[in-house]
Amino acid sequence: MVDGDENTKWLTLYREAILERDPEKVRKRVSRAQQAIRRRARELWYGRVLDSAERLQMDAASCHLRLLCRIGTAGEPEIDSAVRRS
């Protein structure tokens, strides 16, 4: 069995990714968090823990990480043309 620290490693890495302010480091942190989530999901699957609060948290975290990646690769948001003229 994996110890408690290892079970929540994905959560620590997820928090580090979403709180990262350096755009150069975001992708790396997101990747590490996604890997940890996949690893923990496998542990839960093989442990036959299929319906748990942690699993729901991991699903939500995965969605947030994907969104963070998309936002990070899109660059700066477009400024509305009405705002540009003012």
Given a cut of 70, the residues of the chain with pLDDT beneath it are 1-6, 72-86
pLDDT at 35: 96
pLDDT at 30: 95
51: DSSP letter: S
Contact 59, 37 (CB under 8 A): no
This prediction has a pTM of 0.74
Dig out the tokens for 76 from the structure: 């700066």
Whole-Å CA distances, 22 to 29, 33, 53, 71, 74: 10, 16, 31, 13, 15
pLDDT at 43: 92
